[in-house]
Amino acid sequence: MTRLFEQHLTADELDLVLENGVPEAVRAHLTSCPDCTRLVAADRQLVQELSRLALHVPSVGFEDRVMAAVRIPEPLTATAALRRRVFSTRRSLLTAATLVLGLLGSMGASVAWSLAHRTELLAFSHALKDGASRLVWTTVQSLATSLLEQPWYAGVRGMLDTPERLAFALGAAVIGWLGGMLLLRRLIALPDQRVAHESF
Amino acid sequence: MADAPANWPALSDQEVVLHARAGSERAYRELVRRYERPIFSLIYRMVRDRELAEDLAQETFVKALNALDSYRPEYKFSSWIFKISNNAAIDHLRRRELDTLSLEGSPHAATPDAVEATALQIGDRGETPLDVVEAKELGGEIEQAIARLRPEYRQCILLRHVEGRAYEEIAEILDLPLGTVKTYIHRARNELRTYLAHLRE
């Protein structure tokens, strides 16, 4: 930006100076022009004083008077709130539409692919089923084997070899479980909300 | 569900508006709390009458909050509500201009006495003794100087240097071209400097 040295500050330049964005040419002019320096100082002081003006406060009860005259809509259900959110801006509508189209497109593509590759899908599902059942059976077998090999297994089996002993052990286990549940409930219960207040 | 958020002040205006639209009374109150002082101050400085400023501020909030559905969240809520408040103040000033008499007295006055009786005294703004005391306090002189500006200069200078709004936002609030806003603010500053010159002497 070029400027004649003797030219005083324009309104835009003065604004820039007030916002502390002084161009070099203006800075040079300010060092030698007492009129503009005075103007800048006066405007700076004025702007500072204006920004320091306190906010006026409305009288007590203003908020309640406003609220008494406002029509508040009924609270929305989650679905209605979602619908409103989706339709609130063009961007949200576009995002929702893109998601829905993407979802429908991928579903359609999945159905089309499945219909075109039925045999492969059947073979894959059979293989999956066989593999899963093999895995379950092997797990059960290994668990049973490791249980039978435990040193305490024979003793426990001896304790439960009559129906009476079995019933007693089951009853003791049920009582133990219930007792544990009651204890846990007491432990996780919320503390009493009552708090002592200082009386004045 | 409607009054859910625990930390209302941390939410943006747009988020609070969404809660208000969903029927949350707390969200409406939050919007009033956020803007009651700036809106009331702006209107009060425009009309210089506390009671009237409260009425106009209330009218602004009721109008804005009852029309939240028409607010578009891609714009600043502050610009929107300042626009409504500014329109309320300017409409009132225009009405008052039509209702009141000219400074020189009524054009229909037939005699010099009638002219004098109908002439409006400068500074006669229905000020209470409280207003007079305020004028003597720090800042009161500036408030008085602002009150002497033309309404269009006044609204621009208040939005720019008291509310700290950007030029572009002021242009949007007042529906004025950007260049006009800049000119008004520049002229308003010049006039204020003149009015307040005695303080610097």
For B57-113, the DSSP string reads HHHHHHHHHHTGGG--TTS-HHHHHHHHHHHHHHHHHHHHHHHSPPTT--TT--SHH
User: What is the pLDDT at residue A165?
Assistant: 86
Q: What is the C-alpha to C-alpha distance for residues B130 and B185, in angstroms, rounded to an integer?
A: 29
Q: What is the C-alpha to C-alpha distance for residues B185 and B188, in angstroms, rounded to an integer?
A: 5
Identify each DSSP E strand in chain A by its residue range. Answer: none
Q: In Å, what is the CA distance from B52 to each residue of A119, B41, B55, B89, B125?
A: 82, 12, 5, 10, 12
Q: What is the pLDDT of residues B66-98, one digit of tens each?
A: 999 888 888 899 999 999 999 999 999 888 766
pLDDT for A199 beyond 80: no
Instruction: Measure CB to CB from residue B22 to each of A42, A49, A75 and give the nearest one.
Output: A75
Q: Which of B14, B26, B28, B48 to mutate: most A Cβ within 10 Å?
A: B28
Residues of chain B with pLDDT under 70: 1-4, 97-138, 200-201
Greater confidence, B117 or A98? A98
- Show residues of chain B in contact with A12, CB under 8 Å: 182
User: What is the pLDDT at residue A195?
Assistant: 47
- Residue bearing tokens 């578009």: B72
User: What is the pLDDT at residue A181?
Assistant: 93
Q: What is the pLDDT of residues A149-183, one digit of tens each?
A: 888 888 888 877 888 888 998 999 999 999 999 99
Q: What is the C-alpha to C-alpha distance for residues A185 and A169, in angstroms, rounded to an integer?
A: 25
- CB distance B2–A85 less than 8 Å? no
User: What is the pLDDT at residue B111?
Assistant: 56
B14 reaches A (C-beta below 8 A): no
- b/e burial code for range A181-199 (CB count within 10 A of at least 16 → b): eeeeeeeeeeeeeeeeeee
Give the closest residue to B144 by CA, choosing from B83, B196, B98: B196
Those of residues 24-63 in B touching chain A at CB distance below 8 A are 24-25, 28-29, 32-33, 36-38, 40-41, 44-45, 50, 53-54, 57-58, 61-62
Residue B126 CB burial class (10 angstroms; 0-12, 13-18, ≥19): exposed
User: What is the pLDDT at residue B34?
Assistant: 95
Q: 0.90 cut: is pTM over it? A: no
- CB distance A66–B2 less than 8 Å? no
Residue A78 CB burial class (10 angstroms; 0-12, 13-18, ≥19): exposed
**Domain residue extents for chain A:** 11-52, 97-149, 150-192
Distance from CA of A64 to the nearest CA of B (A): 9
N residues, chain B: 201
Greater confidence, A95 or A8? A95
Q: What is the pLDDT of residues A41-80, one digit of tens each?
A: 888 888 988 988 888 999 999 999 999 999 888 776 777 7
- CB distance A63–B164 less than 8 Å? no
